[in-house]
């Protein structure tokens, strides 16, 4: 029995593939390599290059590889881009996921894990935010993911199909063994951008918004190490295999850092100063989002091993350095 990882050549997906291989699971990846890289995968993993919205292709892959469960990472991920180009997000996140889910029900694949997001909460009234908080995304990205959550809910009610939706908070860091990391070209994620600035790959970093109602006026996020996130998926997969019912859970640590705290940490860990420009707010951004992780801890017994901003930044910088050497060698 094989696990299909969609978007497995991307940042988070490639960490998942390495972790599944470490656990001895058979894996097949479907990725169109729009933002992912085939070299991020272990050499012995099958990569099918194609689109998750292509039902005929997915149907063939599910059958050919005897797929038993799907972990669905493929999608478009940049909040401000979704504000500028909403239909791209409804096509690539909502419509493509719809087709993938239908291909699964048609093939009788009944276990599905979905990459949802804290962006479904928008600007939560209470922080830390629990799963029952009102869902009010501030961006088409968040809405595109919420719509997929709703499709999963309705599909599970109508078909023999069980899912786990994990609402990730801000994923950062890299594989502690240095096998993969965030390699996204033109990335917009704060820790990635700050790492690039520290290594001189960009001239400066912009701080988007300094007048939020937060301790230092900049946006606050719950940064979670990618290895802890991937471990939660493995627990969720095992739970579904044991017959667990459908669940939607936050995946974050329960504490937040401001943009300026992240910038200070990157400067301290790297020992490098870089230019920081104070700018206006970025469209679609929430002031403060921090997880209440009680449910995932009790349901999955999830215990983070890397809840330390310095460690997250250390691993992100180590990968950034490796990436520079790789790009120079090419």
Ligand X SMILES: O=c1ccn([C@@H]2O[C@H](COP(=O)(O)OP(=O)(O)O[C@H]3O[C@H](CO)[C@@H](O)[C@H](O)[C@H]3O)[C@@H](O)[C@H]2O)c(=O)[nH]1
Ligand Y SMILES: NC(=O)c1ccc[n+]([C@@H]2O[C@H](COP(=O)([O-])OP(=O)(O)OC[C@H]3O[C@@H](n4cnc5c(N)ncnc54)[C@H](O)[C@@H]3O)[C@@H](O)[C@H]2O)c1
Which candidate, 201, 219, 202, 198, places its Cα nearest to that of 210?
219
CB 189 within 8 A of CB 273: no
Contact between 170 and ligand Y by CB under 6 A: the answer reads: yes
The one of ligand Y, ligand X, none whose footprint includes residue 52, by CB under 5 to 8 A per kind, is ligand Y
CB 160 within 8 A of CB 144: no
The owner of tokens 């996204």 is 184
Comparison of 46 and 188: residue with beta carbon closer to ligand X: 188
CB 304 within 8 A of CB 165: no
Comparison of 46 and 214: residue with beta carbon closer to ligand X: 214
Q: Which stretch binds ligand Y (CB under 6 A): 72-80, 154-162, 194-202, 299-307?
A: 72-80
Active site includes 141? yes
Contact between 7 and ligand Y by CB under 6 A: the answer reads: yes
Contact between 138 and ligand Y by CB under 6 A: the answer reads: no
Dist. CA 232–CA 15, nearest whole Å: 12
Any residues with CB less than 8 A from the CB of 175 and at least 6 apart, and which? 15, 18, 181, 226, 227, 315, 319
Contact between 224 and ligand X by CB under 6 A: the answer reads: no
Identify the residue among 47, 101, 171, 191 touching ligand Y (CB under 6 A).
171
Q: Which stretch binds ligand X (CB under 6 A): 36-44, 61-69, 117-125, 173-181?
A: 117-125
The one of ligand X, ligand Y, none whose footprint includes residue 188, by CB under 5 to 8 A per kind, is ligand X
CA angle 125, 221, 240 (to 5 degrees): 85
The one of ligand X, ligand Y, none whose footprint includes residue 33, by CB under 5 to 8 A per kind, is ligand Y
Q: Which of 89, 121, 141, 212 is catalytic?
A: 141
Dist. CA 49–CA 310, nearest whole Å: 36
Identify the residue among 149, 285, 292, 320 touching ligand X (CB under 6 A).
285
Identify the residue among 16, 19, 41, 53 touching ligand Y (CB under 6 A).
53
Tokens representing residue 278 in the block: 């104070």
178: left (phi over 0), alpha (psi -120 to 50) or beta: left
C-alpha neighbours within 13 Å on the C-beta side of residue 121 = 26
Tokens representing residue 183 in the block: 């390699």
Identify the residue among 90, 112, 169, 253 touching ligand X (CB under 6 A).
169
The one of ligand X, ligand Y, none whose footprint includes residue 115, by CB under 5 to 8 A per kind, is ligand Y
Comparison of 142 and 209: residue with beta carbon closer to ligand Y: 142
Give contact residues for ligand X (rule: CB under 6 A): 77-79, 117-119, 168-170, 188-190, 193, 205-209, 219, 221, 259, 282, 285, 289
For the annotated catalytic residues, the residue numbers are 141
């Amino acid at each position: 029995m094989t696990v299909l990882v969609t978007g497995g050549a991307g940042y988070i997906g490639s960490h998942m593939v390495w972790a599944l291989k470490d656990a001895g699971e058979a894996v097949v990846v479907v990725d169109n390599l729009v933002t992912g890289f085939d070299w991020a995968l272990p050499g012995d993993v099958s990569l099918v290059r194609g689109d998750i919205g292509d039902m005929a292709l997915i149907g063939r892959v599910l059958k050919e590889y005897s797929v038993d469960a799907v972990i669905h990472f493929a999608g478009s991920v940049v909040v401000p881009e979704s504000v500028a180009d909403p239909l791209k997000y409804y096509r690539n996140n909502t419509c493509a996921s719809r087709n993938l889910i239908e291909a699964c029900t048609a093939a009788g694949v009944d276990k599905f894990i979905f990459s949802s997001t804290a962006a479904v909460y928008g600007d939560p009234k209470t922080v830390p935010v629990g799963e029952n908080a009102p869902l009010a995304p501030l961006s088409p990205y968040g809405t595109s993911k919420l719509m997929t959550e709703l499709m999963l809910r309705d599909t599970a009610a109508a078909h023999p199909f069980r899912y786990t939706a994990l609402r990730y908070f801000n994923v950062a860091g890299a594989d502690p063994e240095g096998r993969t990391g965030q390699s996204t070209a033109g990335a917009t994620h704060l820790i990635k951008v700050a790492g690039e600035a520290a290594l001189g790959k960009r001239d400066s970093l912009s701080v988007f918004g300094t007048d939020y109602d937060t301790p230092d006026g900049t946006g606050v996020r719950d940064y979670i190490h990618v290895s802890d996130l991937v471990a939660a998926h493995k627990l969720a997969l095992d739970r579904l295999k044991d017959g667990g019912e459908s669940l939607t859970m936050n995946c974050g640590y329960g504490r937040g850092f401001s943009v300026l705290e992240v910038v200070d940490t990157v400067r301290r860990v790297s020992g490098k100063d870089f230019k920081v420009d104070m700018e206006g707010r970025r469209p679609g951004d929430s002031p403060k989002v921090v997880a209440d992780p009680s449910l995932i801890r009790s349901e999955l017994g999830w215990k983070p091993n890397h809840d330390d901003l310095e460690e997250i930044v250390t691993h992100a910088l180590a990968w950034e350095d490796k990436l520079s050497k790789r790009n120079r060698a090419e």
